[in-house]
Amino acid sequence: MRRDIGRYRVVVVTGVAGWGKTTAVMQVVRERSAACLVIDRRHAHPARFVGGLADALRQRGCDVSVPLPEAGSAEERVWQPAMDQLCRTLEELGRELVVVFDDLQELPSDAAALRVLADLCRGAPEALRLVLITRHQLPFSLTRLRGRGLVGDVDTRQLELDRGEVEVLLRAEVEKASAGLIDRVWECTGGWPAAVRIAIDAIGRTGEGKWAAALDALVRPGGRLREYVLEEVLACEPDRVVDLLRQLAVLGCVSVSVCRGLGWEDAADLLPELARRGLVRTADGDAGQWSLIRPLAGVLSSESVMTTQDAAALHRTAADVYRREGDYARALRHLTTAADYRAAARLLAEHGEAMVESGHGDVVLAASGVAPAEVDRPRITPVLGHARYVRGQLDEAMAAFDAVAHSDPLDAGLAWRMGLIAFARAEFDEALTIFRRAELGSADADEAQLLAWAARTHLQVGHRDRCAELVARALAVAHGCGDQVALATAYSAHADLAIHDGDRLRGEADLAAAQRAAQAGGSLLQQLGIDVTRAFHLLELGLPHQALRETGCALRMAEQSGHATLAAFALTHRATAEARIGRMEEALCDFRAARDLFASIGSRFISRPLCGIAEAHRVRGELAQAAAAYQEALEAAESHHEAYSLSYALTGLARVSVIDDPDAAVDYADQAVALGPGHRQVQALLTRGWVALATNEPDTARIHASHAAALARRRRDRPGLAEALELTVLASPSPGEHGVLAAEAAQIWQELGYPIDHAFAQLIVAGAATHVTSAAAEAAVRLLHQHRVRTTPPQAAGPLAVLLHRERRVSIRTLGALQVFRDGKPVASAEWHSKKARQLVRILTARHGRPIAREQLMELLWPKEDPARTSNRLSVLLSTVRTVLQPSGAPGQPVLLVSDRDAVWLDLDHVDVDVECFLALAGPALDAHTRGSAAATAQLITAEAAYTGDFLEDTPYQEWAIPLREEARTTYLNVLRALTTRLRDAEDVDRMTRYALRLLAYDAYDEQAHLDLVRGLVRARRRGEARRRYRVYCQRMKQLDVTPAPFPNR
């Protein structure tokens, strides 16, 4: 509105009572020079109107002297000179002036003052801005001014409160308001300001346990919202408008054609006008449907002015209009509401299948309670069963089909629908058994559907040739019968086969043909399935960004149609795309949602998102979680012999188990390779190669890399090719001689938009993973840390594991509990022989690599014992620790645990200690922050990611550990403070919030962190969150007897 008032000569603000028109306008114009004239019926005469305007201008300091005409004359020749003089006076002011005319609806439509106002609008000086506030459409035309771009309109769509604004208002009154209560207030008020205010007042006067009841009571007889609507809104409307609103309350939402069918011939003009004034809205997701605003609907729905018979007649009229227009779903909804079961059953039998295909299975299911005597069971039961399948009610759907599947052979239409349920459960043997029970030979649409789904089922279990035979027959039958929906299914099956074979061009052509057929057949479900298949195809091509867009469309259609199975697949594909572009947290969230959705419908396709969850954990180095998810996926995949998930789980288990059980890893990889051609064959070969390299079989690794590269080229699998190039380089006896291949792999990952894989490739190019020297490698490590990818052992089989193995054979993890890794594998407890050996390592890591005197060391290990007795013990202990730390391999390697006659120390040049790595990263990062370097944020993020816990958390009470623990912890808090400040200033609110909350988890009383968090949320206009965090801050300061700083409004 602020922009409109500065841009247009005239701004018209329209809305019925309660929309906050005047409040909103006055908040905007208070920053400008503005005058306001509140209209009442006395201003109907031109003299009083002009006089009132002159008075309003004088109150704003304008020197206005206008000769007013006699009050008894309303002729233009009498008052026009006065208006001309007023306009000249305003023009001479030489500055912008806003004049607000409020409550224009108070003037009769024939009032002479309206002619004065119309002339003022048309002839106002350049610097004059007019704001006209009214509850009704203006009784004079501004068409010519609109044509010149001089008129702006503000209606109730701009005045309604959004959920965030409702939250701020509610929490200002009710501190304990939950998200559920905020949603309830938002839903029942629809953002109508008056309704919001009434609702909040009602909640404020009621106890916490009675809030829901208080909201319900608002629209009942005697309720404040009901009284407001009746007295302030409906009482001001013409009877014909009130009658239309009551009919809309009964019907829910209607089209213009339905209104015309009910006798409202001017509906095309009337409904948009009522929408501008805030009485009706276009229905969500459909601009052609209109409904009452929610508070008005609640009030009018509770009235009893219309009989049941009259309401049923309205619904039947609406149903008749929709049926003639071919909108069978809306027709069915109205017939069901009217309890016209006979007509509803007839409509279901004739058009039920089309309704389900067009995404209206919910309407079909809502009508399933029609009286049994009215149901044509043989025709309707399959329709209801298919609708239940779409909604994910697989058991109920199968029960419905079983009720009419009395004997073999089955009708083809019944058989393919029953088989589809088994397919959705991933019960492929059961699906094939059902398909074989069908009677074929009719060469109709149902036979084409059956053949296509049988083909897809065979492909899932690896029967490629049988799939090809059936899909050819499906296409022939579909083309022969001319059914577009069946043709779409057949082309989709043909695309599956092409993608499986690696024939990407044919797959793309098949999907395009399927899309055209689905659109021609009006099948939303087919279009949804095609989008899901296309997203999978794009992922196989290594195009995650395009797949992400495709899944967005698919999920919107899945929400519209309620198709649970395809929604789960779409979520899985979206998560896969997110993981590949580095959005791991979002990916894990979507994978888990898909897992839960598959579980809720009882589908063993749950193995797909489980594999995705495992893969995300594997990439981040969270190997225990990865192994658990892969194992769960393998058990699900083995139970139904689904080749894709089986290969995925086997390759994942091979990679993560190679550390502890190399023989099992080889077995898993060999099983994956033995599955033969298909989507995951390249990955199976690569996994076998990485496992070979991890078990010191570089020749075997090179063979598998060569085979994988050749197959990836044939299949246009660019991600597979890039990884094959990496394996080739790292399996070579002289990796430095293959720099071109490593650079090519890095280029492929960069072009595809895989940031994590590109970082791995950059490390291969640089030849190191930690303590790197090249700028590119340093940037790669920072990026990995930003994505929460660990760059320390142990790692699953893959590029990072190879690089870490070559760079540093021993690493000690002290941030958290002590862990020692040798050659990338954790040292087994049995190798230590005693707790004292582990304690010796702890003490040495706390020294920053400085020597510690033997006497001091003996006192720490064996306090108050005779040094003569403990000297030999120390020598034995040093020998044990050297054996633990000394990596296997060729002799001549540097000594890691160094000692002489007087002292003992760790050689940090040859041992990785994570706390030292953290401090080495944090120091330069904090220096860069102090200097104001632009690169400081990335450096700080890298340092923060390297801090995985306090130093030696498993020995919290040892005094010798406290200095380094405090140093590391203080440094970490400084890193978090610097990060929070920089991200707040950069208005990167999401990341700022994450790091500020981490800081407060360590120090709940850090006042600056609290205020930074609140300021960042305020700047992002997330005022509800800001208020919540400010209350937490105030509570913490109160505990310290510190006066809180005021709420930061900027």
Report percent pLDDT > 90 for the chain: 46
pLDDT tens digit sequence for 263-282: 999 999 999 999 999 999 98
66: amino acid identity, one letter: V
User: Per-residue confidence at 900, pLDDT binned at 50, 70, 90?
Assistant: confident
544, two tokens: 């995650």
Mean pLDDT over 718-724 rounds to 95
Domain endpoint, select from 807, 833, 858: 807
pLDDT at 891: 45
Residue 567 domain-assigned (yes or no): no
Does residue 888 surpass a pLDDT of 70?
Answer: no
Q: What is the 3-state secondary structure (H, E, C) of 22-63?
A: HHHHHHHHCCCCEEEEECCHHHHCHHHHHHHHHHHHHHCCCC
pLDDT at 65: 67
Do residues 720 and 682 lie in contact, with contact meaning Cβ atoms separated by under 8 Å?
Answer: yes
Domain endpoint, select from 267, 293, 317: 317
- Identify the CATH number of the domain in which residue 693 sits: 1.25.40.10
pLDDT at 370: 60
Instruction: Note whether 993 and 1012 are same-domain residues.
Output: yes
Return the SS3 of 822: strand
Instruction: Note whether 100 and 198 are same-domain residues.
Output: no
Number of alpha carbons in the 13 Å side-chain half-sphere of residue 632: 19
- Identify the CATH number of the domain in which residue 112 sits: 3.40.50.300
pLDDT at 743: 85
CA-CA distance, 1010 to 1001, in Å (whole number)?
Answer: 11
**DSSP string spanning 956-1020?**
TT-GGGHHHHHHHHHHHHHHHHHHHHHHHHTT-HHHHHHHHHHHHHH-TT-HHHHHHHHHHHHHT
Instruction: Note whether 700 and 842 are same-domain residues.
Output: no
pLDDT at 580: 95
CA-CA distance, 289 to 286, in Å (whole number)?
Answer: 6
Please, which residues bridge with residue 825 across strands? 822
For tokens 């005409």, name the residue. Answer: 69
Q: What single DSSP character describes residue 404?
A: T
Instruction: Note whether 1010 and 939 are same-domain residues.
Output: no
Return the SS3 of 17: coil
pLDDT at 369: 66
Give the number of other Cβ atoms within 10 Å of residue 666's Cβ: 20
Report percent pLDDT > 70 for the chain: 94
Do residues 944 and 925 lie in contact, with contact meaning Cβ atoms separated by under 8 Å?
Answer: no
Instruction: Note whether 830 and 716 are same-domain residues.
Output: no
Do residues 179 and 1025 lie in contact, with contact meaning Cβ atoms separated by under 8 Å?
Answer: no
CA-CA distance, 939 to 782, in Å (whole number)?
Answer: 7
CA-CA distance, 920 to 940, in Å (whole number)?
Answer: 11
Write the CA distances from 147 to 2, 9, 142, 281, 326, integer angstroms.
21, 13, 9, 26, 38
The pairing of beta strand 810-813 with beta strand 819-822: antiparallel
Lowest mean per-residue pLDDT among 225-229, 238-242, 371-375: 371-375
Give the number of other Cβ atoms within 10 Å of residue 639's Cβ: 12
pLDDT at 1020: 73
CA-CA distance, 904 to 423, in Å (whole number)?
Answer: 67
pLDDT at 813: 87
pLDDT tens digit sequence for 993-1028: 888 888 888 888 888 888 888 887 887 777 777 888
Residue 858 domain-assigned (yes or no): yes
pLDDT at 770: 40
CA-CA distance, 949 to 681, in Å (whole number)?
Answer: 40
Task: Kindly state the helix (H) or strand (E) to which residue 612 belongs, with its residue range.
Answer: helix 607-619
Provide the domain limits for residue 1037. 987-1050
- Identify the CATH number of the domain in which residue 939 sits: 1.10.10.10
Do residues 915 and 964 lie in contact, with contact meaning Cβ atoms separated by under 8 Å?
Answer: yes
Domain count, the chain: 5
Q: What is the 3-state secondary structure (H, E, C) of 563-609?
A: CHHHHHHHHHHHHHHHHHCCCHHHHHHHHHHHHHHHHHCCCHHHHHH
For tokens 């994570």, name the residue. Answer: 914
- Rounded to 5°, angle at Cα 151 from 149 and 156: 130
For tokens 């990785």, name the residue. Answer: 912
Distance of CA 776 to the CA centre of its chain: 32
Give 865 or 1049, the one with higher predicted confidence: 865
Does residue 385 surpass a pLDDT of 60?
Answer: yes
- Rounded to 5°, angle at Cα 853 from 851 and 854: 120
pTM for the whole thing?
Answer: 0.67
766, two tokens: 């640089």
- Helix 607-619 to helix 643-657 angle, to the nearest 10 degrees? 30
Residue 134 domain-assigned (yes or no): yes
Give the number of other Cβ atoms within 10 Å of residue 372's Cβ: 9
Instruction: Note whether 243 and 154 are same-domain residues.
Output: no
**What's the full length of the chain, in residues?**
1050
Does residue 760 surpass a pLDDT of 50?
Answer: yes
Q: Where are the alpha helices (DSSP H) in 503-563?
A: 504-520, 524-540, 544-561
Instruction: Note whether 933 and 1050 are same-domain residues.
Output: no
Mean pLDDT over 703-723 rounds to 94
pLDDT tens digit sequence for 119-167: 888 887 777 889 999 999 898 989 989 888 899 999 888 899 888 888 8
Lowest mean per-residue pLDDT among 72-86, 654-668, 707-721, 757-771: 72-86
Lowest mean per-residue pLDDT among 338-347, 527-536, 758-767, 802-811: 802-811
Please, which residues bridge with residue 129 across strands? 98
User: Per-residue confidence at 945, pLDDT binned at 50, 70, 90?
Assistant: confident
196 phi, psi to nearest 5 deg = -60, -45
Instruction: Note whether 114 and 174 are same-domain residues.
Output: no
Highest average pLDDT, of 599-608, 896-905, 975-984, comes from: 599-608
pLDDT at 772: 37
Lowest mean per-residue pLDDT among 237-241, 334-338, 777-781: 777-781
| Burial grade of 659 (CB within 10 A; 0-12, 13-18, 19 or more) | buried
User: Per-residue confidence at 769, pLDDT binned at 50, 70, 90?
Assistant: very low
CA-CA distance, 328 to 325, in Å (whole number)?
Answer: 8
pLDDT at 417: 92
Residue 1015 domain-assigned (yes or no): yes
Residue 384 domain-assigned (yes or no): no
Give the number of other Cβ atoms within 10 Å of residue 806's Cβ: 13
pLDDT at 1028: 81
The pairing of beta strand 128-134 with beta strand 903-906: unpaired
Highest average pLDDT, of 22-31, 172-181, 354-363, 443-452, comes from: 443-452
Distance of CA 946 to the CA centre of its chain: 28
The pairing of beta strand 151-154 with beta strand 10-14: parallel
226: CB partners within 8 A, 6+ apart = 218, 219, 220, 299, 302
Q: Which of 561, 211, 197, 499 is nearest to 363 (CA)?
A: 561
CA-CA distance, 706 to 674, in Å (whole number)?
Answer: 17
**DSSP string spanning 49-105?**
HHHHHHHHHHHTT------PPPTT---HHHHHHHHHHHHHHHHHT-S-EEEEEE-GG
Residue 15 domain-assigned (yes or no): yes
Q: Which of 457, 453, 535, 544 is nearest to 499 (CA)?
A: 535
Residue 330 domain-assigned (yes or no): no
Do residues 749 and 757 lie in contact, with contact meaning Cβ atoms separated by under 8 Å?
Answer: yes
Instruction: Note whether 921 and 997 are same-domain residues.
Output: no
Q: What is the 3-state secondary structure (H, E, C) of 890-959?
A: CCCCCCCEEECCCEEEECCCCCEEHHHHHHHHHHHHHHHHHHCCCCHHHHHHHHHHHCCCCECCCCCCCH
Instruction: Note whether 852 and 926 are same-domain residues.
Output: yes
Domain endpoint, select from 293, 317, 341: 317
Do residues 998 and 941 lie in contact, with contact meaning Cβ atoms separated by under 8 Å?
Answer: no
Instruction: Note whether 826 and 772 are same-domain residues.
Output: no
Please, which residues bridge with residue 820 across strands? 812
461: CB partners within 8 A, 6+ apart = 428, 641, 642, 643
Residue 800 domain-assigned (yes or no): yes
User: Per-residue confidence at 1, pLDDT binned at 50, 70, 90?
Assistant: low
Instruction: Note whether 72 and 192 are same-domain residues.
Output: no
